[in-house]
Amino acid sequence: MEIRIRGLSKHYHAEGKTIKALDEVDLTIPASEIFTLLGPSGCGKTTLLRCIVGLESPDAGEISIGDEVVWSKARGIALPPEKRGLGMVFQTYAIWPHMNVFDNVGYPLQVRGVDRALVRERVAATLRFVQLEGFENRPATKLSGGQQQRVALARALVAEPKVILFDEPLSNLDAKLREETRKELKAFLGKLKITAVYVTHDRVEALALSDAIAVMRAGRIIETGTPRKIYFDADTQFVADFIGRANLVKARVRSQESARTLVECGLGTIACERREFGAGAEVTLCLRPEFIHIVPGEASGDNVVNARIDSRVFVGEAYEVELRAGAEVLLARIDPDSELDIGDAIHFRLDPAHCLLVSS
């Protein structure tokens, strides 16, 4: 079900200062998609999620889920969380320690007065879905982190909510388990075709799980788009830098050509993916390390940059190298079995499609 948010603001007052947790947020979350709110800590993403679910009251604006307005300052509507019919997975999972798995998962049905036999059946089906078949009578606190996470998911799903919300659900797991659980979650959500809102500060999680991502900063939504759009074709330097490792090079627009924008920078004249900037505009050229393909020796040609290896660090699957080209230092990766060493002259050719220009 579609979620529409209009002009949503929320301010906190602390130590005499006003913090804008949400600043006039407008957002439409499309139905049946996995939508991620991504941003650094304190950007307002969790506040936005808690406003959608009803655990927090905004200061202004309107939220509607499907056809129903659940919150509106102007119209005086404030539907409490228990009336919104949503499901949520909390960061701490919030598994009730005094109940077993069955009661934890069955709770949303029990409080709705669903018939006992039906509760039993639905809980069993949901547990089967999250691959915890037969876990009904286990005490919830005796499960592993990954299992608790699946119980929390089952509880969020069991009452067939209109929307399911995730508040950094993987951040409590260790790195290896997080990766496995992320894949599981992706598989579960892929089968469900449900509207899901997912909050995280982990860019890999966001890229891997989402159909669409909204990047937030300081209570505002900076940019919205598909993972590929956000990664390759960000509009702002903040988003380009936040979503992945990037070399940021100051540049000045020289001219616009049919499909390219030519810029002058410390690397020379570079043809980039076309962006509408006027000639002479100060911009930032954003180069992802994985698209700098190093070849030994010097060369010349369009978009070819000559450089020297300044430093080299072995990180296992690759060498991370720093390349000096004129006054610029660029980060790149080379194969771990490469013969190249510090001081060697190299060159690389930049594909204009991977030369992203963003406003400074």
Partner 1 sequence: MEKSRAQLTWSLVAIVGFLTVCPVVMLALGSFSQGLTAFGDLTFDKYVQAYTDPALLDVIVNTVIFVLGSSVLATVLALFLAYLNTRTNIPFKGLFTVLSIVPMMIPHLLFSVSWALLLNPTNGMLNTLLKNALALDAAPFNIYSLEGMILVEALLDLPVAYLIIAPAMASFDVALEESSRVFGAATWRTLLRVTLPVLRPAILAAFILGVVRSLASFAVPSVLGMPGRVNVLATHLYEMISLGFATDYGKAAAVGMSVLVTSVTLIYVYRAFTAESEKYVTISSRGYRPSVIELGGARLPLFAAVAFLSLLMIVLPVAVLLYTSFVPYTMVPSARAFAAMSLKHWHDVLDDPLSLLALKNSLLLAIGGATLGVLLSVFVAYVTVKVRTRASGILESLTFLSFSFPGIVIGVGFMWFFVQTPLYATLWALLIGYIATYLPYGVRPMASAFVQVHSHLEESSLVCGASHLTTMRRIIVPLLVPGIVSAWILMASMFIRELTLSVVLSRPGTEVLAVQILKFSDDGLWGKLSALGIIMIVISTTLVIAATFVGMRFKAADN
Spell out, one character per residue from 34 to 63, where the chain touches partner 1: x when CB under 8 A holds, - when not.
Answer: -------------------xxx--------
Task: Report the site for partner 1 in 191-230 (rule: CB under 8 A).
Answer: none
Comparison of 53 and 173: residue with beta carbon closer to partner 1: 53
d(CA 216, CA 211): 16
Task: Report the site for partner 1 in 58-87 (rule: CB under 8 A).
Answer: 80-87
Phi first, then psi, for residue 308 (nearest 5°) are: -125, 150
Q: Smallest gap, in angstroms, from Cβ of residue 98 to partner 1?
A: 5
Q: Is-contact 100 137, C-beta < 8 A?
A: yes
Comparison of 91 and 256: residue with beta carbon closer to partner 1: 91
Spell out, one character per residue from 146 to 165, where the chain touches partner 1: x when CB under 8 A holds, - when not.
Answer: ---------x---x-----x
Comparison of 87 and 244: residue with beta carbon closer to partner 1: 87
Stretch that binds partner 1, among 93-101, 200-208, 233-241, 270-278 (CB under 8 A): 93-101
Comparison of 37 and 88: residue with beta carbon closer to partner 1: 88
The strand order across the sheet containing 60-65 reads 17-29, 3-14, 60-65, 68-72, 77-78
Chosen residue from 88, 189, 240, 249 binding partner 1 by CB under 8 A: 88
Comparison of 35 and 93: residue with beta carbon closer to partner 1: 93
The C-alpha torsion from 98 through 100 and 101 to 106, rounded to 10°, is: -80
- Looking up tokens 């409080």 gives 111
d(CA 192, CA 126): 12
Residue 147 per-residue DSSP state: H
Q: Give the residue from 266, 298, 299, 282 showing the smallest Cα distance to 357.
A: 282
Stretch that binds partner 1, among 137-145, 174-182, 204-212, 315-323 (CB under 8 A): 137-145
- Looking up tokens 């194969």 gives 335
By CB under 8 A, tell whether 107 contacts partner 1: yes
DSSP string, 316-351: SSSEEEEEEETTEEEEEEE-TT----TT-EEEEE--
d(CA 90, CA 174): 17
Chosen residue from 28, 92, 144, 359 binding partner 1 by CB under 8 A: 92
Chosen residue from 28, 59, 112, 345 binding partner 1 by CB under 8 A: 112
Q: Is-contact 44 37, C-beta < 8 A?
A: no
Comparison of 44 and 161: residue with beta carbon closer to partner 1: 161
By CB under 8 A, tell whether 98 contacts partner 1: yes
Comparison of 159 and 243: residue with beta carbon closer to partner 1: 159
| Interface ranges with partner 1 (CB under 8 A) | 53-55, 80-88, 90-94, 96-98, 107-108, 111-112, 139, 141-142, 155, 159, 165
